[in-house]
Chain A
Amino acid sequence: MRFVDIFAPYLYAVSFNEEGDEFSNFIDFLTDTSQLEQYFNDNKSLLIYSGLSIEDAVNRLSELAIEIYDYLNANKENLDEVFEPISAVAGERVLYKMKFKKEWIRLYAIQIESKYYVITGGAIKQSQKMSDHPATENQLAKMEQIRIFLKNEGITDIDGLLELIME
């Protein structure tokens, strides 16, 4: 597991291999027509409830990819205003599980400490509870896996994360 710079020193993303990181991979998904066409075929309710055609939905998601990137860049020094806890019950008071919401998009991150975040992944939100849909359930499991990894490494603040990266 590696941590790559998105908007250092505030925002990083988890990387599991040399191919890319979880933020870059999610942007790839939002701009991949083939994958999105398959996704909307498997999840037709999203189009039915939104009243959008598949063409409009695919186009909107590719626009959102750019909008999210620009928004994070513009607000990188105020990430505490960007991310919110994934649920009312935040659990342990270290390494919070956080989310950023924009329309259908959910971006997930672990708060290392105030102002410092690591993106763990993203998904198209469909159901009220994260665990109700495979895509978001998968993100929840991944976020927990990364949180446990950081906890086991003794990372509870940004300096701890920096030390981990330097090893």
Chain B
Amino acid sequence: MAKKEFKELVSAQQSKVHEKIAWRKANKEWLKKSSLIAINILKVIRERNISQLDFAAQLEVTPQYVNKMLKGSENLTLETITKIERVLNISLMHIEQYQTQGLYKAHSYSQSGYHLTRTIIIQDEQVEERKTFTEKQTLIPLAGAA
């Protein structure tokens, strides 16, 4: 048997591993999050003695979907995550409020004017900057205002 002929034969029977690895590389970031969510769910259902079958029923999805989800390879929607959080009464995602920078907020008024503060970043640290605007400097009238 010539090696050349063999190469032709095995090329038609290539392992599925190549496409699996390529897919994992392309989706690495969200797969990590999906796996962390799966571990949290697995810990909770194990601790509370909930079977995957019961969990699927509570979630109103098929056991096959739960199985896939718990493999940590499912791109879960926000709707599904929220439903899991409600069914298990746990938090799976925490969204930090983004702090808007650079916009002044008026917090008080005195005879000297409006006292304003804003948060700015100096060398990676959040710093509160204060400023007072006199009435003359303020404020551009809103369109249509008298």
A62 to B46, Cβ gap below 8 A? no
Complex alpha-carbon distance, A79 and B6, angstroms: 19
Where chain B touches its partner, the secondary structure class is helix
List B contacts of A12 (CB < 8 A).
10
Query: In the complex, which residues of chain A have a beta carbon less than 8 angstroms from the beta carbon of B67?
Result: 34
User: Contact at A66–B1, with CB atoms within 8 Å?
Assistant: no
Interface string of B61-79 (1 = CB under 8 A from A): 0000001001111000000
Distance of A51 Cα from B46 Cα, bound (Å): 22
Binds A, one of B33-41, B118-126, B127-135: B33-41
Contact residues in B for A62 (Cβ distance below 8 Å): 24, 31-32, 35
Query: What distance in Å separates the Cβ of A166 from its nearest Cβ neighbour in chain B?
Result: 6
A4 and B1 contacting across the interface, CB-CB below 8 Å: no
| Minimum C-beta distance from B62 to chain A (A) | 16
Is B3 in the interface zone, CB < 8 Å from A?
yes
B residues in contact with A65, CB < 8 Å? 21, 24
Interface residues in A, total, Cβ within 8 A: 36
Q: Which of B11, B24, B31 has the most CB of A within 10 A?
A: B24
Q: Which of B12-20, B105-113, B138-146 lies at the interface?
A: B12-20
Query: At the interface, yes or no: A138 with Cβ under 8 Å from chain B?
Result: no
Q: Is A46 an interface position by the 8 A CB rule? A: no
Question: Which of A32, A33, A165 is within 8 Å of B10, CB to CB?
Answer: A165
| Binary contact track A21-42/B, C-beta < 8 Å → 1, others 0 | 1011001100111110100010
> In the assembly, what is the distance between CA of A65 and CA of B32, in Å?
13
Other-chain residue from B6, B17, B34 in contact with A69 (beta carbon distance below 8 A): B17
Interface mask (B27-61 → A, CB under 8 Å = 1, otherwise 0)? 00001101110110011001000000000000000
**B5 touches which of A13, A58, A59, A166 (Cβ 8 Å):** A166
Interface SS, A side: helix
Task: Report whether B17 and A34 are in contact in the complex, using a CB–CB cutoff of 8 Å.
Answer: no
Q: Could you tell me if A32 and B21 are in contact, using CB atoms closer than 8 angstroms? A: no
Contacts of A82 in B (CB 8 A): none
A55 interfacial by beta-carbon distance below 8 Å = yes
With an 8 A cutoff between CB atoms, is A94 at the interface?
no
Is there contact, CB below 8 Å, between A4 and B10? yes
A163 cross-chain contacts in B, Cβ below 8 A: 1
Which residues of the partner chain B approach A58 to less than 8 Å between Cβ atoms? 35, 39, 72
Interface residues of A (CB under 8 A from B): 2-6, 8-9, 12-13, 20-21, 23-24, 27-28, 31-35, 37, 41, 54-55, 58-59, 62, 65-66, 69, 158-159, 162-163, 165-166
The 3 closest A-B pairs by CB, nearest first: A33-B72, A5-B10, A162-B6
Beyond A34-B42, A166-B5, list 19 extra A-B contacts (CB 8 Å): A5-B11, A6-B15, A6-B17, A20-B16, A24-B17, A27-B20, A28-B20, A31-B24, A34-B71, A37-B39, A37-B42, A41-B46, A54-B39, A55-B39, A62-B31, A62-B35, A66-B21, A66-B25, A162-B3
